[in-house]
Structure 1
Amino acid sequence: MPKLEIKRKSELSRKELSDRLITIGQALAGGSEVELGSGGDSIEIVVADRVRWELEIEVDGDEIEIEIEISWRDDLPSESTSEAQSDSATPPPAKAARRGRPRKSADK
């Protein structure tokens, strides 16, 4: 398949952002085919049963950046053949920082 990239940047309210994240989550929970779009462009993709998740939180002065990256390969085995894998690959839920100050982890 040829490379395809859709990139959009916009400023949203906190409510608009939460609605978009909820929509993506519901689409992923509802099945393997997900339609994603922005600014009139959309693409329907098939999401593998197992995905890689990367969460990056960066606090730099008064700017806070959260990046969520979800990736997979089309040729990965299905969930039924990889259920025996360890749950150690599942990250804990993200915790919000207050006023841009990172929280200290209690499990050190």
Structure 2
Amino acid sequence: MPKLEIKRKSELSRKEVSDRLIALGQALASGSEVELGSGGDSISVVVGDRVQWELEIEVDGDETEIEIEISWRDDPSEESTADAEPEPESETPPVKPAPPAKTAARRGRPRKSAAK
């Protein structure tokens, strides 16, 4: 099968991103076929029963990036799945929302050090 790649970037609200992630999660939970779309384009893919999951979180100054990658092989042979050892599940903690950044400047007199 020839290589196919669809890549879209857009700026969305936090709610819109949440809705898309929830829809993807529900599609994965309800069956193996998932329809993904963006900007009028859509593609339907069949997801394997076992998938590889990769989570990357990168903080660089005031920019934070979260990448989630889900991959699988189509119709793996019976031999390779029977002989393969299962990969240990990583103990990646769940993603928790970050507390809001403090932007107010601290007011008051500077503290004096207790050095003697």
The two structures share one fold, judged by TM-score above 0.5: yes
Percent sequence identity over matched residues? 70
Higher relative contact order (CA 8 A, sep 6+): 1
* Residue number in structure 1 paired with 2:68: 68
**Gap runs ≥5 in structure 2:** 102-116
Residue 73 of structure 2 is aligned to residue 58 of structure 1: no
* Residue number in structure 2 paired with 1:94: 94
Counterparts of 1:1-108 in structure 2, within 5 Å, are 1-76=1-76, 88-89=88-89, 91-96=91-96, 98=98
Quote the offset at 1:91 in angstroms: 4.8
- Structure 2 counterpart of 1:52, which letter? Q
* Residue number in structure 1 paired with 2:113: none
Checking the alignment, whether the CA contact within 8 Å between 1:35 and 1:44 is kept in structure 2 is yes
Whose radius of gyration is greater, 1 or 2?
2
**CA-atom RMSD, angstroms?**
2.5
Checking the alignment, whether the CA contact within 8 Å between 1:62 and 1:100 is kept in structure 2 is no
- Structure 2 counterpart of 1:21, which letter? L
